[in-house]
Amino acid sequence: MKAAKKVLIAYATVHGSTTEIAEYMAKLLGEHHFDVTTANVETLESVAGYDAYILGSAIHAGMWLPSMSRFLDRFEDELAKAPVYFFVTCIRVLEPEGEQHVLEHYLHRDTLERIHTRDIAVFAGKLRLDAIDLRDRWTLALRYDGSHAPGTINDDYRDCNIIHDWTARVCSALDKPAS
Ligand SMILES: Cc1cc2nc3c(=O)[nH]c(=O)nc-3n(C[C@H](O)[C@H](O)[C@H](O)COP(=O)(O)O)c2cc1C
């Protein structure tokens, strides 16, 4: 019997909703018989030995998190050797043309191209204002570039069907023999 493909799901989070998405994806990949490891990017000392990577970050102030930037800088050469799939969680995607805006302005395209990213997903995240501290609220109020006034977006907007469908697409791409 062939060994299961090894997939690393590495995520960057502040308030935990991206972690839960990563864990949900891991469950789905496990059901497809992949051998999955899920880890916060801040804890990873190596990314060697995987057949594919799924990387995900929350968006703060119009960019993926600094911990994801550090991770990508550190492991870029290794990541480029296997298929990479990338997702972000944010709230801008809830606005008209939001997905387009996120894809054009919130991602560092050169970095994603250098690691040969095969697909990018933009998921609606979770934002509960009562769960974030005053400093974060100020960052959000000052730097959020959408038209919704801060405070009007205050809920869990994650859609498990959308996350499920993207993960299923990744699974079937990974199931195909390497070309
Ligand atoms: C301080 C702060 C800044 C944020 N900035 C943005 C932003 O610029 N654009 C956006 O679409 N979402 C922004 N968000 C929303 C987060 O991306 C969203 O809540 C995400 O689900 C958080 O993921 P986490 O729970 O894994 O940290 C911000 C949230 C916080 C708390």
Q: Which tens digits make up the pLDDT trace of 6-35?
A: 999 999 999 999 999 999 999 999 999 999
Residue 3 pLDDT grade (very low, low, confident, very high; cuts 50, 70, 90): confident
Rounded Cα gap, residues 102 and 90, in angstroms:
9
> Residue 63: helix, strand or coil by DSSP?
strand
What's the whole-number mean pLDDT along residues 50-76?
97
Residue 151 per-residue DSSP state: T
Q: What count of residues does the chain have?
A: 179
Mutate to test the pocket of ligand 1, among 60, 63, 87, 102 (most ligand atoms within 8 A of CB): 60
Rounded Cα gap, residues 133 and 131, in angstroms:
7
What is the Å distance from ligand 1's center to 1 Cα?
43
Mutate to test the pocket of ligand 1, among 144, 158, 159, 162 (most ligand atoms within 8 A of CB): 144
Residue of 115 and 149 predicted with greater confidence: 115
What's the whole-number mean pLDDT along residues 45-73?
97
> What does the domain layout of the chain look like in residue ranges?
6-175
The ligand 1 atom at the shortest distance from the C-alpha of residue 127 is: 19
Rounded Cα gap, residues 103 and 44, in angstroms:
26
Structure confidence at residue 179 (pLDDT): 56
Residue 130 pLDDT grade (very low, low, confident, very high; cuts 50, 70, 90): confident
| Predicted TM-score (pTM) of this structure | 0.96
Homologous superfamily assigned to 6-175: Flavodoxin domain (3.40.50.360)
The ligand 1 atom at the shortest distance from the C-alpha of residue 88 is: 17
Q: Is residue 131 scored above 70 in pLDDT? A: yes
Q: Where are the alpha helices (DSSP H) in 66-148?
A: 66-79, 98-105, 109-114, 134-143
